[in-house]
Structure formats: structure tokens, C-alpha cells
């Protein structure tokens, strides 16, 4: 047998084996109903629903808790929870010790399946993550554009909810000019659905999107999973591993967990209300910090409360700021490319611990980076990440085939 053929057989076998392992692991995610933890048992707890425009600080202060005790709790939360996830409608449960003016027990229900608990022990809070077991299901969907219709209409008719429709539309828009889409064009989507107590949760993720044009070229996109929920690299890429987010910039870090979002907040050191003109991301000292896109360094040095800080001017009237750095690797006047390492995470200046403060100015005004920028981990996957992505593509293709067969079987039964 020629060497080349042998290598081809071995690598094909490896792909099949690794795919099977992945499929088996995914299947194991579902657990029997009786193991589910009972939710909503909050006897003796105050219940508080987050209202529109309310900050967590304001809610906690309303229980007559002094600033410093509120900050003790929110700082403990910031160590474990993505603090940008608080939304109107979410529920808090708390026990207040009105004599000690402390919250002694606190639950934050992020969604149907994720809860966070903080309990006061002595002078510090202990953290617990509570996850309800859920089932995972892959759903295959085919949607065809009809005369006078668009992709979004076709997806709506296929029963896909608004936020998922938007995710799919973002993938499509970065691959094709949707204006040129003709009736008869069709798309295939594989959704990673989460099922809890027999009900589908609204957190479906499209992991495969294929486009079949009438006169436009066909294209495929796959979800890449870096194996860590905080990885900035998780996302949709085309078959070559190129990111599918048009007009996106790079995240300033490789791992993303928000410890303090943009907006008004109670300052963790001074205890006074201040505007927070950026996002704080968790990070260990020395973690590389990247320029989110190309530009020119307009300052690099120590600046009061910001500590060691780099400011970069980008085309289109945008400026970015990276503060509390431990090290700076660039000089004023230097041109930087997108993704260039400009410094390292630190805790210089007015700071409670190592983190990156990332600020964005548009036409001279601070704006919320989260809502003003589309951020991704990489423009293209390379090296080991690309190899893993190629394996994941094969797995997803098998999942598409399986889910497609199941859909066809169900249609025959009807
Ligand atoms: Zn900050």
C-alpha cells in the first residue's frame, strides 16, 4: 500500500473516531428529569425583579445597606459573574440582616438554567454556581426566500425567534450581499437548542449556516468552540476559518469576562457615584492586551488614576483607551496594526486589582464599547485552532446529516 494512501486512511479514521467521541460527549449532556434541582424555593427571601433602567447598585442600596457593604457584595460578584449580564426581568432573591446592615444571602437568577448564589461568611462572601441540567437537541431548518420576501421573513416563517434570526442574518450579511438575493435562494441552518423540562429555551445558537443562491455563489459557515465559554474566539467562521462578522474589530483580550460594564456605578474605592467610561475585563497581570484595530498611538505613559495607559487613534473618528496596564510595549506616534500587542494587564493607578479598563471614544465622546463595536477574537483561525476547527466542521456536517434525516422522517410521519 502506498504511504500516501495509508496516511489518508489513518487520518480519515482519526476524524471519524474523534467525531464519535464528540457526539457521545454531547449526548451525555442530557440527564434524567428526576435529577433536576427544584428551583423557586425561596422561603424567607425578599424577591426583587430588575426593572428597566435600574442598576444593581441602586437596587442593593434601596435595602438601606451602606455603600461599603454593597461594594463588598458587588466586588465578590465581579470575581465570578459577567456583570454586563444584568437585564430587566431577571430576578434577585436576598436576605437582609437589618441590624448588621448586610445582605447575608443573595441569589441572582441569570436565566431558567443558571443561578448564582453568594452567602456571607464572617466578613467575606462565598460563591456558588447552580446549573439546572438541561438537554441539548440539534434542529435542522431549511428556509426558502419567496417572491418579494427576504431571508428574515423566510426564517420567521420557519419558526425561528428574533434573536436567533438576527444571528443568522449577521452570518449571511458578512458572506453575501443580501440585496442581490433572489426568490428561490435557500438556506440551511443547524440550531443547537437547549431543552429544559420539555420546553425549548430561547438560547439557541446557530452552529451551521449554509447559503444556496440562485445566481450567487454557495457558501457555508460553521461555529468554532474554543472549549472555554469566555474565549473571544468562539464564533462563526467560513470553511477557511475566516471570521464572519462584517465591520468587526478584535477584542482587546483573548478571554472576555466583564467585571464592570459601561455606565453609572458606585465607585469601588471612593464609594461615590461616577460615570464609568469603559468596560472592565477580568485578567491576570501580564495577560497580553491587543489594539482592537489599526491606528496610531497618540499617548503611552502614566496618567493619574488610569495608571499606565495607551490611547490609539483609529480611522473614522474613533479612539480607544487601554488602562491600568502593568507594561506598555508601544510609543507615542507609532503606527499599530489590528491585533498588535500594545501592553499587558496590570493594576496601576486607581485600581482594586488586575484588570483591563477598555474605553472607546467616537467623535470625542465616550461611548459604550459593547453596543458601539462588534468584537471578535480573530479575523482568521490559525495553527492548532484551525486544526480543531477543521475537526469541528466534520462533526457539525455529520450532525447536519443526522438532524436532516430526523426532520425528513418526522415529515413523513405527519
Ligand atoms: Zn474601568
Q: What is the pLDDT of residues 96-117, one digit of tens each?
A: 999 999 999 999 999 989 999 9
Are residues 101 and 49 part of one domain?
Answer: yes
- 78: containing domain: 36-131
Angle, vertex CA 253, rays to CA 127 and CA 55, nearest 5: 50
**For position 59, which CATH number holds?**
3.10.450.350
Confidence of residue 414 (pLDDT cuts 50, 70, 90): low
Are residues 188 and 151 part of one domain?
Answer: yes
Q: Is 4 contained in some domain?
A: no
- Reported as a single tens digit per residue, the pLDDT across 14-28 is 444 444 444 433 433
Measured torsion, CA atoms of residues 84, 90, 94, 96, in degrees rounded to the nearest 10: 70
Residue 304 CA to ligand 1 centre (angstroms):
13
Residue 274 CA to ligand 1 centre (angstroms):
11
Per-residue pLDDT, 413: 63
| For the chain, percent of residues with pLDDT exceeding 90 | 59
d(CA 56, CA 50): 8
| For the chain, percent of residues with pLDDT exceeding 70 | 89
Are residues 71 and 143 part of one domain?
Answer: no
Write out the residues surrounding ion ligand 1, Cβ under 5 A.
278, 280, 357
Residue 273 CA to ligand 1 centre (angstroms):
13
User: What is the phi/psi pair of residue 142, to 5°?
Assistant: -120, 130
Residue 145 CA to ligand 1 centre (angstroms):
46
Contacts of 231 (CB under 8 A, 6+ apart): 254, 255, 256, 377
- Of the listed ranges 40-44, 112-116, 255-259, 392-396, the least confidently predicted one is 40-44
- Reported as a single tens digit per residue, the pLDDT across 198-253 is 888 888 899 999 999 887 788 999 999 999 989 999 999 999 999 988 788 999 99
Residue 325 CA to ligand 1 centre (angstroms):
12
Residue 105 CA to ligand 1 centre (angstroms):
27
Q: Is 311 contained in some domain?
A: yes
Residue 357 CA to ligand 1 centre (angstroms):
4
Are residues 98 and 67 part of one domain?
Answer: yes
Average pLDDT for 166-180: 82
Residue 356 CA to ligand 1 centre (angstroms):
7
Flag whether the pTM goes above 0.75: yes
Within 28-110, residue ranges assigned H as helices are 56-61, 67-78
**For position 300, which CATH number holds?**
2.70.70.10
Are residues 269 and 365 part of one domain?
Answer: yes
Per-residue pLDDT, 126: 95
SS3 for 354? coil
Are residues 367 and 262 part of one domain?
Answer: yes
Residue 259 CA to ligand 1 centre (angstroms):
9
Q: Is 58 contained in some domain?
A: yes
Residue 318 CA to ligand 1 centre (angstroms):
19
User: Cβ–Cβ contacts within 10 Å for residue 200, how many?
Assistant: 15
Are residues 398 and 293 part of one domain?
Answer: no
* The three grid cell numbers given for residue 334, joined into one nine-digit string: 507609532
Specify whether the CB–CB gap between 107 and 48 falls below 8 A.
no
More confident residue, 224 or 3: 224
Are residues 386 and 242 part of one domain?
Answer: yes
Q: Which of 4-18, 55-69, 335-349 is predicted most confidently?
A: 335-349
Residue 398 CA to ligand 1 centre (angstroms):
44
Per-residue pLDDT, 40: 57
Amino acid at each position: 500500500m502506498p504511504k500516501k494512501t495509508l496516511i489518508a486512511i489513518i487520518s480519515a479514521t482519526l476524524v471519524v473516531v474523534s467525531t464519535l467521541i464528540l457526539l457521545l460527549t454531547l449526548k451525555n449532556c442530557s440527564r434524567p428529569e428526576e435529577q433536576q434541582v427544584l428551583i423557586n424555593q425561596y422561603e424567607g427571601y425578599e424577591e426583587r425583579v430588575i426593572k428597566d433602567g435600574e442598576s444593581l447598585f441602586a437596587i442593593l442600596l434601596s435595602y438601606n445597606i451602606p455603600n461599603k457593604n454593597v461594594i463588598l457584595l458587588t466586588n465578590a460578584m465581579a470575581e465570578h459573574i459577567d456583570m454586563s449580564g444584568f437585564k430587566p426581568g431577571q430576578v434577585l432573591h436576598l436576605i437582609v440582616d437589618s441590624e448588621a446592615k448586610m445582605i447575608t444571602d443573595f441569589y441572582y437568577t441569570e436565566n431558567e438554567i443558571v443561578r448564582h448564589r453568594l452567602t456571607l461568611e464572617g466578613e467575606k462572601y462565598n460563591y456558588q454556581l447552580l446549573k439546572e441540567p438541561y438537554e441539548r437537541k440539534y434542529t435542522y431548518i431549511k428556509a426558502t426566500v419567496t417572491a418579494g420576501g427576504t431571508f428574515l421573513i423566510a426564517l420567521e416563517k420557519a419558526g425561528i425567534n428574533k434573536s436567533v434570526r438576527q444571528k443568522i442574518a449577521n452570518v449571511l450579511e458578512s458572506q453575501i450581499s443580501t440585496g442581490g438575493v433572489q426568490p428561490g435562494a435557500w438556506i440551511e441552518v443547524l440550531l443547537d437548542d437547549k431543552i429544559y423540562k420539555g420546553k425549548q429555551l430561547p438560547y439557541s445558537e446557530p452552529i451551521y449556516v449554509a447559503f444556496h443562491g440562485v445566481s450567487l455563489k454557495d457558501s457555508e459557515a460553521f461555529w468554532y468552540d474554543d472549549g472555554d465559554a469566555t474565549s473571544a474566539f468562539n464564533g462563526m467562521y467560513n470553511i477557511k476559518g475566516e471570521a464572519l462578522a462584517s465591520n468587526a474589530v478584535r477584542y482587546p483580550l483573548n478571554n472576555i469576562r466583564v467585571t464592570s460594564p459601561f455606565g453609572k456605578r458606585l465607585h469601588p474605592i471612593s464609594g461615590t457615584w461616577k460615570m464609568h467610561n469603559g468596560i472592565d475585563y477580568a485578567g491576570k497581570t501580564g495577560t497580553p492586551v491587543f489594539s482592537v484595530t489599526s491606528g496610531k498611538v497618540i499617548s503611552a505613559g502614566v496618567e493619574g488614576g488610569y495608571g499606565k495607559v495607551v490611547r490609539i487613534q483609529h480611522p473614522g473618528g474613533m479612539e480607544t483607551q487601554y488602562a491600568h496596564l502593568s507594561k506598555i510595549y508601544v510609543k507615542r506616534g507609532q503606527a499599530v496594526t489590528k491585533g498588535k500587542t500594545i501592553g499587558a494587564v496590570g493594576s496601576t493607578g486607581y485600581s482594586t486589582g488586575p484588570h483591563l479598563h477598555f474605553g472607546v471614544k467616537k467623535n470625542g465622546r465616550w461611548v459604550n464599547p459593547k453596543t458601539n463595536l462588534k468584537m471578535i477574537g480573530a479575523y482568521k483561525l490559525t495553527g492548532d485552532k484551525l486544526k480543531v476547527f477543521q475537526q469541528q466542521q466534520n462533526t457539525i456536517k455529520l450532525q447536519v446529516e443526522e438532524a436532516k434525516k430526523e426532520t425528513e422522517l418526522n415529515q413523513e410521519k405527519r
